[in-house]
C-alpha cells in the first residue's frame, strides 16, 4: 500500500526536482495525447523541444526564444512577488494589455515627431498603465476586502474590450485604409523598440527582464520587504506580529506585478508586435502564471522556466505548421505542465512510503 | 474495583527517528481514576492515541474488558466502549450544542430527542448545559461539558481525558471532579492526562509515569508529594525558580481605560482595562482562556491599535504605534500561539530570529538584511536557552513545542526589553523547560524590566508574579499582591465575582 507521510521539514531536493519531473511527465502524457491525435509522439516532442534550437532552421527560431521569453519572465517575476505573499494576481493579461495601450498611446501621440525622449516616456507610460490597472483589484481588496483573484481576472476581459475599442477607434491608423489596428511603431524610429543586436532577438524588453530577475533576487533574499513578503505567505499572523501592514503589502505586490506586466506589454507593442491590434494579446499574462510556479517563484527558476515555456511556444508553432497539430493541443500541453507540477509538488512536504498491511 | 478494564502489555510505537513508546505495560482498574503523567514528548499522546485507535502499535497487546482489543480506528474504539475528551475541542462555533453533538454521532436521533437525552445526562452528572445554546457563546468550561456529554452519551466503560482542567477556573475544576467521581462510582474507568500534580494528588487513585517513552513507575499519588512526582517525570532534581529581592523602579507600562474591539467574531473585546507595571515588577494576569488574553497581547504588541493615551510607556503615549515602533522603544511581546503567530512554521530559526530581532539586534541596515548576524543571534538564543535542535538552519516546525517556546521567549528576552509581555509562556512545555523560562523572566525583572505574564496556570502566576489580576470577559479585576491571595479568592476573581466580594467587606 502506498502511503503519504508528512516530512518534518520541506525537502530542499524536491523543491528543484519537482519541475524536472513535471517536465518529463508532461512529455510522456503529451506524447500520449499526440499519439491519440494520430501523430508520432517522438517526432512531436522532438519538434517542440529540439527543433527550435538545433534544427536546420534554428538560426531563425533562436532569437524568438528571447522575444517570447522576455515578456513571460518579466510578468512572472512580478506575479511571483505577490504569489509568495499569498496575493493572487490572475489578471496580468489585462495589465499587459493596458500597459501596451498606454505605451503605444504616448508614442502615437507624438507621431510624427522624432526625439530621444519619446521611447523613455513610452516606457514610463507602459509601467504606469499596468500599475494603474492592477491598483483596481488592490484598492478594492484593501478597502472592501474583495477577492483579488476574481477582480483581477474579470478586468482582463474589460481590458480586452478596451483593446478592441482602441484598435477600431481612437488608435486606428488614419492611413490604414479602414483596417483595424494602429500605425506600425516599427516604422516610427523614435518609438520603435528595435533589436539592440541585429538578428539576436535582444530588445529592451529582454534587458528589462534581466534587470527584473536581478532586482527580484536581491529583494527576496537580502531586503526586509522580500522577507516580509515571504513571511506573509508562510504565516500571515506571524507577519502582522512582526509588524507587516498587510494592506500596504497588497498594494506593493499588485502594483509591482502590474507595472512589470505593463512594461512587458509596452515592449511587445513597440517591438515584435509593432502595433495595437484586436488580437494583440496572445496569453502571455496567463502563461506567466505557469512560468512563475514552474520556476518555484524563485527569480532564477523563473528565468529558466520562461525560456522553457518560450520554447514550447515556438516549438508548438512549428508543430502546428509542420505536423498539423491543433493549437488547442499545444495549449493543453502547456497546461499539463502546471497540472503535473502541482501534483509532483506534494513530494516537497510529503514522502511516499510503501507499507504492507500487517497481519492482525 | 478489582477487575482491570484495560490492560496494556508491552506496547511499542516507533516513528522515524524517535521511539514514542517502548514496552509500556499497565492496567486500569474498574472504577478508578488513573493518571498518566509525563513531560511533553514522554509519549503520553501516542499511548492514548493507540488506545483510541488513532495510531497502530508496532508491538504489544491490549485487553479491554477481558477481550483482546486492537482498534483499527476511533469508531471501533468507541464501539468497544472507549471515549475520549481531547484537549482541543472540535466544535463548530456557529452551531448549537445539540447540533454539534449530532454531528459526531453515526446515527443521530431526531434533534428534539437528542436534546432530551442531553438534558438528562447533564442533570445526572451535574453538568448544567442548555442543548439549544450556540457554542460560540459558551465559555471554555461549558464547551468542555459539550465534549464530555458527547462522550457520556456513548455510555463508555473507559473515558480518556487529555488535560481537561487547563481551561477551567478552580470552581469549574471542582464541578468536573464531582462529575468524574460520580462516573467512577458507576464503574467507569478514567484515564486522566495532566501536568498539574496537585490536581492528580487529589483526584487520582493511581498514577503511571512515563519518561522518554518508557514507564518509570506506577504509584499512588496521594501517598507521595507533587515534587516527588515531578522529579520522577523529569528524572532529575528540580530547581524552584529563585526570586531575588528587587527594588521597584518607575512605572514602565501604563494602561488607562484600554478598550479594543476584538477583530474576530467570537473573540472577546477589551473593556476599560487600567493597570500599571513598574520596572522590576512581575504582574500576573490570570483568567480562563478566551476572556481577552489574545486581544490584550495584541493591543500591547501593536497588532491591535488603540487610542494613543490608552497605552503609555514611561509616560509616552504609544497606543497608535505599530509593532515595529513599539519594539524600537523596548516594548516586546511573545504571543501564546507558537506556530503561526510567534514563529513561522516552515521558516528556519535564523529567519525566525529575524522576525522580531531585525530592529533591536541591528540585523537590518537601511532595509538590507544581514543574515550572518541573524544566524549569530539565533545561535546565541539556542545556546543560552538550551534549545534542542541540530542548528539554526532547521525549520521552526521541526522543534518540539517546549523547545520552540524556549526559542521564542529567549528571542525576546535576549533583546533586553524595557517591558516584556508574554502570553502562556509555559503552555505545553515540560517541567524543566518551564522552570528555565520562569527563571529567565524573573532574572529579567531583577535587571529592571517590567514583566507582564498572562497565563492560565495559576501555580505559575503564584510562583513568579508580585501582583495578580484576572481577566473576565475582557475586563480586568482589581489587581492585588499575590502574597495576600489564596486559590479560593483567585477563583472568585477569575469568575468575575470580585465586586460581590468587595461588597461583603
Mutate: best of B336, B344, B375, partner A, most A CBs <10 A: B344
Top pLDDT among A10 and B92 is at B92
Query: Which candidate from A5, A227, A240 shows the least CB-CB separation from B369?
Result: A227
Over residues B37-52, the pLDDT tens digits come to 887 667 888 889 899 9
The pLDDT of residue A159: 96
Question: Any idea what the CATH number is for the domain that residue A70 is in?
Answer: 1.10.3470
User: Cell numbers of B139, please?
Assistant: 465559555
Cis amide linkage into residue B147, ω under 30° from 0: no
Q: Residue B435's pLDDT band (boundaries 50, 70, 90)? A: confident
Query: Which of B323, B337, B346 is the closest to A242 by Cβ?
Result: B323
In terms of domains, do A222 and A293 share one?
yes
CA dist list (Å): A46 to A39, A315, A330, B168: 12, 9, 14, 69
Confidence tier at B502 by pLDDT (50, 70, 90): very low
What integer pLDDT is reported at residue A357 of this predicted model? 54
Does one domain contain both A305 and A360? no
Residues A121 and A165 in one domain: yes
A160 and A21, same structural domain? Answer: no
Tell me whether residues B327 and A235 touch, CB distance under 8 A: no
- Grid coordinates given for B340: 503561526
What's the average model confidence in pLDDT over B66-72?
89
For residues A260 and A132, membership in a common domain is answered with yes
Residue A238 has its nearest CB partner, among B56, B322, B344, at B344
The CATH number fitting domain B251-504, selected from 1.20.58.220, 3.40.50.2020, 3.40.50.300, 1.25.40.10: 3.40.50.300
Instruction: Tell me if B488 sits within 8 A of B495, measured CB to CB.
Output: no
Q: Using 50, 70 and 90 to split pLDDT, how confident is the model at B243?
A: low
How many domains does chain A contain in total? 2
Mutation to test the B interface, candidates A219, A226, A235, most B Cβ within 10 Å: A235
CA distance B295 to chain A (A): 13
Which of A121-135, A299-313, B157-171, B320-334 is predicted least confidently? Answer: B157-171
Backbone angles phi, psi at A67, to 5 degrees: -60, -40
User: Taking the domains of chain B in order of start, what are their residue ranges?
Assistant: 4-234, 251-504
- Mapping DSSP to helix (H, G, I), strand (E, B) and coil, where does residue B24 land? strand
The pLDDT, as a whole number, for residue B312 is 94
Is the same domain home to A93 and A16?
no
Stretches in chain A below the pLDDT threshold 70:
1, 355-360
Question: Do residues A146 and A173 both lie within one domain?
Answer: yes
What does the pLDDT read at residue B267? Answer: 79
Domains B4-234 and B251-504 share a fold: yes
pLDDT score, position B17: 66
CATH of B4-234, one of 3.30.200.20, 3.40.50.300, 3.40.462.20, 3.40.309.10: 3.40.50.300
CA distance B276 to chain A (A): 24
Chain B contacts to A (CB-CB under 8 A): 16, 56, 70, 301-303, 322-324, 327, 333, 335, 337, 340-347, 351, 354-356, 358, 364, 367-369, 394-395, 397-398
Residue bearing the bigger pLDDT, B21 or A353: B21
- pLDDT tops 50 at residue B501: no
Give the mean model confidence (pLDDT) for residues B360-378: 94
| Nearest CA-CA partner of A108 in A313, A352, A275 | A275
Q: Return the percentage of chain B with pLDDT > 90, whole number.
A: 40
| Predicted local distance difference test score (pLDDT) of residue B241 | 65
In this structure, of A264-278, A324-338, B333-347, B443-457, the range with the lowest mean pLDDT score is A324-338
pLDDT at position B498 over 50: no
Q: Which residue of A has its CA nearest to B356?
A: A242
SS (H, E, C) B67-78: EECCCCCHHHHH
Burial of B426 per CB tally in 10 Å (0-12, 13-18, 19+): buried
Q: Which residue has the higher pLDDT, A224 or B198?
A: A224
**Angle at Cα B365 formed by Cα B363 and Cα B369, nearest 5°?**
55
Alpha helices (H) in A176-298, listed in sequence order: 204-222, 224-234, 236-242, 246-270, 284-294
> Are A25 and A48 within one domain?
no
What is the reported pLDDT for B244?
A: 60
* Alpha carbon of B205: minimum distance to chain A alpha carbons (Å): 34
What domain range includes position A338?
A: 1-39+326-360
B151, pLDDT greater than 80: yes
Do A160 and A306 sit in the same domain of this protein? Answer: yes
**Candidates A9, A239, A241; nearest CB to B394:** A9
**One domain for residues A163 and A104:** yes
- Partners of B347 on chain A (C-beta within 8 Å) are 230-231, 234-235
CA distance B338 to B411: 12
The rounded mean pLDDT for chain B is 87
A8: nearest CA partner in chain B: B398
Distance CA(B400)–CA(B413), nearest Å, equals 20
The CA distance from A272 to A275, in Å, is: 9
Q: Is B336's pLDDT higher than 80? A: yes
Amino acid at each position: 500500500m502506498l502511503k503519504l507521510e508528512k516530512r518534518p521539514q520541506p525537502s530542499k531536493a524536491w523543491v528543484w526536482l519537482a519541475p524536472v519531473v513535471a517536465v518529463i511527465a508532461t512529455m510522456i502524457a503529451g506524447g500520449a495525447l499526440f499519439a491519440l491525435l494520430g501523430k508520432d509522439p517522438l517526432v512531436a516532442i522532438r519538434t517542440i523541444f529540439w527543433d527550435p534550437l538545433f534544427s536546420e532552421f534554428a538560426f531563425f527560431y533562436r532569437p524568438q526564444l528571447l522575444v517570447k521569453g522576455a515578456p513571460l519572465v518579466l510578468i512572472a517575476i512580478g506575479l511571483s512577488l505577490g504569489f509568495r505573499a499569498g496575493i493572487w494576481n490572475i489578471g496580468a493579461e489585462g495589465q499587459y494589455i493596458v500597459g501596451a495601450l498606454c505605451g503605444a498611446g504616448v508614442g502615437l501621440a507624438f507621431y510624427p515627431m522624432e526625439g530621444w525622449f519619446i521611447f523613455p516616456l513610452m516606457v514610463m507610460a507602459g509601467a504606469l498603465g499596468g500599475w494603474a490597472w492592477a491598483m483596481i483589484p488592490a484598492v478594492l481588496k484593501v478597502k472592501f476586502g474583495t477577492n483579488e483573484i476574481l477582480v483581477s481576472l474579470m478586468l482582463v476581459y474589460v481590458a480586452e474590450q478596451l483593446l478592441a475599442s482602441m484598435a477600431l477607434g481612437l488608435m486606428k491608423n488614419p492611413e490604414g485604409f479602414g483596417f483595424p489596428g494602429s500605425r506600425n511603431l516599427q516604422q516610427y524610429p523614435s518609438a520603435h523598440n528595435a533589436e539592440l543586436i541585429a538578428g539576436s532577438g535582444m530588445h529592451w524588453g529582454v534587458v528589462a527582464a534581466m534587470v527584473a530577475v536581478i532586482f527580484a533576487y536581491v529583494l527576496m533574499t537580502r531586503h526586509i520587504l522580500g522577507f516580509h513578503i515571504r513571511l506573509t505567505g508562510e504565516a500571515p499572523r506571524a507577519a502582522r506580529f512582526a509588524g507587516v501592514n498587510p494592506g500596504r503589502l497588497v498594494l506593493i505586490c499588485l502594483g509591482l506585478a502590474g507595472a512589470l506586466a505593463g512594461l512587458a506589454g509596452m515592449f511587445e507593442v513597440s517591438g515584435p508586435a509593432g502595433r495595437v491590434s484586436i488580437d494583440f494579446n496572445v496569453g502571455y499574462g496567463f502563461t506567466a502564471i505557469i512560468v512563475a510556479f514552474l520556476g518555484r517563484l524563485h527569480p532564477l527558476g523563473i528565468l529558466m522556466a520562461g525560456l522553457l515555456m518560450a520554447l514550447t511556444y515556438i516549438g508548438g508553432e512549428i508543430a502546428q505548421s509542420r505536423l498539423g497539430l491543433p493549437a488547442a493541443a499545444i495549449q493543453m500541453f502547456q497546461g499539463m505542465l502546471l497540472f503535473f507540477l502541482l501534483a509532483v509538488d506534494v513530494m516537497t512536504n510529503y514522502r511516499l512510503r510503501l507499507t504492507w498491511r500487517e497481519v492482525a | 474495583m478489582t477487575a482491570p478494564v484495560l490492560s496494556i502489555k508491552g506496547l511499542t510505537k516507533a516513528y522515524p527517528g524517535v521511539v514514542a513508546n517502548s514496552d509500556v505495560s499497565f492496567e486500569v482498574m474498574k472504577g478508578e481514576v488513573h493518571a498518566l503523567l509525563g513531560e511533553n514528548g514522554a509519549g503520553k499522546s501516542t499511548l492514548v492515541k493507540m488506545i483510541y485507535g488513532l495510531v497502530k502499535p508496532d508491538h504489544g497487546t491490549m485487553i479491554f474488558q477481558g477481550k483482546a482489543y486492537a482498534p483499527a480506528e476511533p469508531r471501533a474504539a468507541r464501539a468497544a466502549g472507549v471515549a475520549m475528551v481531547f484537549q482541543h475541542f472540535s466544535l463548530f462555533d456557529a452551531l448549537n450544542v445539540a447540533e454539534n453533538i449530532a454531528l459526531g454521532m453515526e446515527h443521530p436521533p431526531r434533534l428534539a430527542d437528542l436534546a432530551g437525552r442531553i438534558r438528562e445526562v447533564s442533570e445526572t452528572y451535574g453538568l448544567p448545559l442548555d442543548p439549544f445554546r450556540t457554542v460560540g457563546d459558551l465559555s471554555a468550561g461549558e464547551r468542555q461539558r459539550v465534549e464530555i456529554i458527547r462522550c457520556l452519551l456513548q455510555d463508555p466503560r473507559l473515558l480518556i481525558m487529555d488535560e481537561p482542567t487547563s481551561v477551567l477556573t478552580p470552581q469549574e475544576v471542582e464541578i468536573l471532579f464531582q462529575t468524574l467521581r460520580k462516573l467512577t462510582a458507576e464503574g467507569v474507568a478514567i484515564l486522566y492526562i495532566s501536568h498539574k500534580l496537585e490536581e492528580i494528588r487529589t483526584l487520582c487513585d493511581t498514577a503511571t509515569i512515563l519518561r522518554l517513552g518508557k514507564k518509570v513507575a506506577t504509584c499512588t499519588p496521594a501517598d507521595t508529594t507533587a515534587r516527588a512526582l515531578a522529579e520522577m517525570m523529569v528524572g532529575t532534581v528540580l530547581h524552584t525558580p529563585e526570586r531575588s529581592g528587587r527594588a521597584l523602579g518607575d512605572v514602565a507600562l501604563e494602561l488607562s481605560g484600554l478598550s479594543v474591539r476584538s477583530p474576530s467574531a467570537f473573540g472577546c473585546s477589551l473593556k476599560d482595562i487600567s493597570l500599571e507595571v513598574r520596572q522590576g515588577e512581575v504582574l500576573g494576569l490570570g483568567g480562563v482562556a478566551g476572556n481577552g488574553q489574545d486581544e490584550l497581547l495584541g493591543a500591547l504588541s501593536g497588532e491591535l491599535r488603540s487610542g494613543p493615551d490608552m497605552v503609555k510607556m514611561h509616560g509616552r503615549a504609544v497606543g497608535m504605534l505599530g509593532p515595529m515602533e513599539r519594539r524600537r522603544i523596548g516594548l516586546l511581546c511573545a504571543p501564546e500561539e507558537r506556530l503561526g503567530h510567534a514563529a513561522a512554521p516552515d521558516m528556519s530559526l535564523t529567519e525566525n530570529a529575524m522576525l522580531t530581532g531585525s530592529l533591536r539586534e541591528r540585523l537590518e541596515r537601511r532595509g538590507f538584511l544581514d543574515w550572518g548576524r541573524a544566524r549569530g543571534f539565533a545561535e546565541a538564543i539556542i545556546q543560552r536557552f538550551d534549545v534542542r535542535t541540530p542548528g539554526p538552519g532547521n525549520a521552526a516546525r521541526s522543534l518540539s513545542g517546549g523547545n520552540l517556546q524556549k526559542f521564542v521567549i529567549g528571542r525576546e528576552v535576549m533583546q533586553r526589553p524595557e517591558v516584556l509581555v508574554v502570553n502562556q509562556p509555559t503552555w505545553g512545555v515540560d517541567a524543566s523547560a518551564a522552570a528555565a523560562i520562569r527563571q529567565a523572566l524573573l532574572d529579567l525583572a531583577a535587571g529592571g524590566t517590567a514583566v507582564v505574564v498572562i497565563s492560565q496556570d495559576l501555580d505559575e502566576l503564584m510562583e513568579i508574579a508580585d501582583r495578580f489580576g484576572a481577566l473576565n470577559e475582557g475586563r480586568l479585576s482589581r489587581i492585588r499582591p499575590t502574597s495576600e491571595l489564596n486559590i479560593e479568592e483567585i477563583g472568585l476573581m477569575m469568575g468575575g465575582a470580585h465586586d460581590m466580594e468587595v461588597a461583603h467587606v
